[in-house]
Amino acid sequence: MARAMEDKVVIVSGAGSVGEGWGNGKAAAVLYAREGARVLAVDRNLQAAQETCDLIRSEGGVCEVVAADVSRTPDIEAMVQAALDHFGRIDVLHNNVGIAETGGPVEASEESWNRVIAINQTSVFMTCKHVLPVMEKQKKGAIVNISSLAAIRWVGFPYVAYSASKAAMLALTKNIAMQYAPSGIRANCVLPGLMDTPMIREPLKASYGGDIEEMRRKRHAQCPMGHMGDAWDVAHAALFLASDAARYVTGVDLIVDGGLSLKCV
């Protein structure tokens, strides 16, 4: 039985994990490779990207690494060139880079706002700007952008810059989906709900009194299924959207939240 991503070339930004365990980007990179993709693991932290790459190679997969800050144009250009040098094409761009900083319009600093917008929002615009011409020449490609449930609803505390950046990603993705559909290029978003991943623990623990286990307990209790999702739930959703199984799916916001968005509060 053919694997879902056999011989496809996938760029995963944010492919390292910020702590122990499985982050969304790491899980996605490994899953793409397990399904036959050749992966370019991109992360600002080269060691984190290399750990993901080593895991993929240990399982017999194909992976190369690039250290890049995707909020910087020269790094993005180098990332795209590395993919072409190593693999000759780019079939999937998986935008996973993101940071979470809490605070409303009054509490959040201007510096915090600018940082979150640059990393979460502008980076996606810039990676798409440089990858789309490659896909257009190929007459085929798929973009998977990892947004958030916070883009469409309140998640329990002020999250203004994060929510705004993730909401902008939805509109950006739909614009790309419409403009590039005639070129055989699809663009979709995954909207994770409450997830138990390394990225959320340190940034958000202060909003839960500094106790990570109490934070996890409360977040589990919020979910209709009784528990948060994890990086693999996000990765499997992304895999579907990136694969030819979703060849007629574009401009979609795929919510992965265990039913949380169905709640009134």
Catalytic positions: 162
Quick count: other Cβ atoms within 10 Å of Cβ 158? 17
**Alpha-carbon distances, residue 197 vs 24, 175, 193 (angstroms):** 7, 30, 11
Taking each helix axis from N to C terminus, what angle separates 231-242 and 24-34, rounded to the nearest 10 degrees?
50
Q: How far apart are the two ends of the chain, measured CA to CA in Å?
A: 44
Q: Are 48 and 17 within 8 A, CB to CB?
A: yes
SS3 134: helix
Quick count: other Cβ atoms within 10 Å of Cβ 114? 12
Strand ranges for 24-107 from DSSP E: 38-43, 62-67, 92-95
194: closest CA among 131, 150, 245, 152? 150
Pairing outcome for strands 185-192 and 141-146: parallel
